[in-house]
Structure 1
């Protein structure tokens, strides 16, 4: 069996289904290079979990943030069910994050819409996420890295689609993300 905490190989798939039995370990493996980059550049890791609990599909970020807070990790987490980071306060939270953390390495977590065959898949990548793009909102990009979860199908009536997203899937995705982050962070503890 291969070491699950080795760095992601260049040939690995960029997305991962949360229904894969080893999803937590595989996603932790994909997160590790981003954490390593932050640690080696002496930057504080900060998670910003974007979304609202007023829409099932858009609750991926706040649910993940709440789960990360419950795990008592030593990294700052912004965006929970109690205090969500969403369209109307994203700019304000961005300012708070940069004022409260020296040289933060932001990892943004957000829900997105995609093709039917990609629903239930997680992606991680370098660069900023553009929150609200699926529902035609013009919000500032945020993050040095991103984690996105495809919660439903996009392309038509996105607001309604987000409202009718299955909570079971969003819960499974948020649990996979939070547990993967916790697993990966323990490597650097």
Structure 2
């Protein structure tokens, strides 16, 4: 797992290079890329995923699967249904899961990138299925007490900055997958 501080001057480059490294290592070029942006537009702190999905959709609507936008969020109530739909639609999906999370005070404002699935809703004690071949999480606020209230009172500025960085890095990384783009053009 790698962490990118959104307040560093090089955060866009750092995210892109790290995300691209993971994508190029894990993606086998035979699978379909599917981005699942988890969260809801009803909570500032939990809106990171749907905002990223909203921003990615215009770039990739015909190239990759994008699930979870502001108009059609993927959240606790429809995550299982979404996973079933993905598995019916794609033969062998390579899933990139994106979600907001809570963390320690010294990690707020960091984006983490890693291999393997994430467990959405764990910070608010929800039992949801693990998802993803790789993940991107944005630590939007502190955990430990009244998580629902903390998510509701998260500054939109931090969420939007993370969404901009993540969207930039994912877009540049996928466009950089020359073989992927040639095969599916």
Same fold, judged at TM 0.5 (above)? yes
Question: Cα 1:183–1:41, aligned 2, differ >3 Å: closer, same or farther?
Answer: closer
Structure 2 SS opposite 1:71:
helix
Please give the per-residue CA displacement for 1:136-187, whole angstroms capped at 9, x wherever unaligned: 0011111111100000000000000000000011011011101110111121
Q: Are 2:82 and 1:101 aligned?
A: no
Query: Out of 159, 165, 169, which is 1:176 matched to?
Result: 165
Residue 118 in 1 paired to residue 107 in 2? Answer: yes
Structure 2 distance, partners of 1:173, 1:102, is 31
CA RMSD of aligned residues (A): 1.4
TM superposition shift of 1:37:
3.7
Q: Distance in 2 between matches of 1:151 and 1:104?
A: 28
Residue 50 of structure 1: aligned partner: 38
CA contact (8 A) 1:16 1:121 kept: yes
TM-score by length of structure 2 reads 0.91
Per the normalisation by structure 1, the TM-score is 0.89
Whole-Å Cα distance in 2 between the matches of residues 122 and 29 of structure 1? 13
Describe the superposition over 1:100-121 as per-residue Cα deviations: whole angstroms up to 9, x where unpaired.
1120010000000001111110
Conserved 8 A contact 1:127-1:144: yes
Give the Cα separation in 1 of the matches to 2:50 and 2:29: 28
- Equivalent positions of 1:73-152 (< 5 A) are 74-152=63-141
| 4+ residue segments displaced more than 6 Å | none
Number of corresponding residues: 177
CA distance in 1, matches of 2:29, 2:47: 32
